[in-house]
Amino acid sequence: MNGHKILTSGILIRRDFRHVVSGTLVTAAWLLCAACSSEKPPEPPTVSVQAAPVEKTAIQHVVEAQAILFPLQQAAIVPKISAPVQKFLVKRGSPVKQGQVLAVLENRDLSAAAQDTEGAYKQAQAVYETTTAANLPEEIRKAEADAQQAQQALDAQEKVFQSRQQLFEQGALPRKELDQSRVDITQARNQSDIAKQHLEKLMAIGKEQELKAAEGQRDSAAGKYRGAQAQLSYSEIRSPINGVITDRPLYPGEMAAAGTPLLTVMDISSVIAKAHIPQDDAAAL
């Protein structure tokens, strides 16, 4: 019994020691946590702030890139006709004005054609003015008189022929005179027919038709004259814009071909720059 008690007491003593150690550890851990929680956290750094008024302004973004300059206007002047260059009035770098003559092509044949058509036009104009001023009834009366006289001459020749034919049959007239009478009557008949046709024509067309015919001839001659003048003007090469001569590939005496640039004029008073920039920079523009 005593030995059992001692063992039991030993078990009790060990159990009490465990409780004491556990309580001590818990107390130490609590004290450590309390000590940690009692330390103050570090303060955040102070940030300095500067106040400024609110303003609305544009944000500048500079983009640098290589660019090619182009003129505001450019004209490659081509002749409408093929002819040798007679003379140049400008050279590379010469400033020019719109409408200024820059070069002259050989044009002697064109000048002669213009003079010829001018003469034809003036003639047609004179005919038109004469026709306009003419009095048609007077022309008709004259044509009637001419036709009447021609008919009377024909009647007279017929009577002469009949008389000579009788004399020839009687043997009192040679055949030569009878043949001559036949010729005379034929001529008289032709003259009478011509006079009648002229009268019929005047009666048919009338004043209005005669004026239209004269007007048509005049207009046709005027059109040919204007065409010749236009061809002559093509021999003078003029500038269509203000600018500077930048190219002149030919020399006087060389052949200028129609459709091939003879001179180049550029207006460099203002220029246009074309550049390639990255997509990101382009989106910010």
Nearest CA-CA partner of 249 in 76, 120, 20, 51: 76
Write the CB contacts of 242 (distance below 8 Å, at least 6 apart in sequence). 96, 97, 98, 267, 269
Residue 120: inside a domain: yes
- Integer CA distances (angstroms), 94 to 63, 71, 74, 89, 144, in order: 36, 16, 15, 10, 73
Task: Mark whether 163 and 217 lie in a shared domain.
Answer: yes
Tell me what pLDDT residue 133 has.
67
Rounded distance between C-alpha atoms, residue 216 and residue 209, angstroms: 10
Structural domain contains residue 171: yes
The amino acid occupying position 91 is K
Q: Are residues 191 and 209 in the same domain?
A: yes
Instruction: Give CA–CA dist 35/60, Å, rounded.
Output: 58
* H or E, element range at 101: strand 101-105
What is the CATH classification number for the domain harbouring 86?
2.40.50.100
- What is the residue range of 17's domain? 1-31
Residue found by looking up tokens 């092509």 in the block: 105
Identify whether residues 213 and 117 lie together within a single domain. Answer: yes
SS3 48: coil
The secondary structure of residue 97, as a DSSP letter, is -
Structurally, the chain folds into a number of domains equal to: 3
Using DSSP bridges, classify how beta strands 243-247 and 263-275 pair: parallel, antiparallel or unpaired.
Answer: antiparallel
Q: Is 99 left (phi over 0), alpha (psi -120 to 50) or beta?
A: left
Q: What is the pLDDT of residue 207?
A: 66
Whether residue 223 sits in one domain with residue 248: no
Q: Which positions ≥6 away from 253 have C-beta within 8 Å?
A: 84, 85
Please identify, among 210, 233, 256, the residue that sits at the C-terminal boundary of a domain.
Answer: 233
130 with 215, same domain: the answer is: yes
Domain boundary among 233, 254, 271: 233
pLDDT score recorded for residue 7: 39
For residue 18, give the 3-state DSSP assignment.
helix
Res 49: pLDDT: 67
What span, in angstroms and rounded, lies between the C-alpha atoms of 14 and 8? 10
- Say whether both 186 and 281 belong to one domain: no
| Strand pairing report for 243-247 and 95-96 | antiparallel
Q: Are residues 262 and 185 part of one domain?
A: no
From CA 178, how far away is CA 165, in angstroms rounded?
A: 6
Q: Is position 101 within any domain?
A: yes
Q: Is residue 2 part of a domain?
A: yes
Contact call for residues 262 and 78 (beta carbons, < 8 A): yes
| Pair 127, 228 in one domain | yes
Looking at the fold, whether 88 and 224 belong to one and the same domain comes out as: no
Task: Let me know if residue 62 belongs to a domain.
Answer: no
Statement to judge: residues 112 and 90 lie in one domain: no
* Residue 248 shares a structural domain with residue 178: no
* pLDDT by position in tens, the chain (length 285): 444 443 344 444 444 444 444 455 545 555 555 555 445 566 777 767 677 677 777 777 788 888 898 898 999 999 999 999 999 999 999 999 999 999 999 999 999 999 999 999 999 998 888 877 666 667 777 888 889 999 999 898 888 888 888 888 888 888 888 888 888 889 999 999 999 888 887 776 666 677 788 889 999 999 999 999 999 999 999 999 999 999 999 999 999 999 999 999 999 888 888 888 888 777 776
Query: Are the beta carbons of 193 and 187 closer than 8 angstroms?
Result: no
Whether 240 and 100 map to the same domain: the answer is: yes
Prediction pTM value: 0.49
Q: What is the pLDDT of residue 121?
A: 92
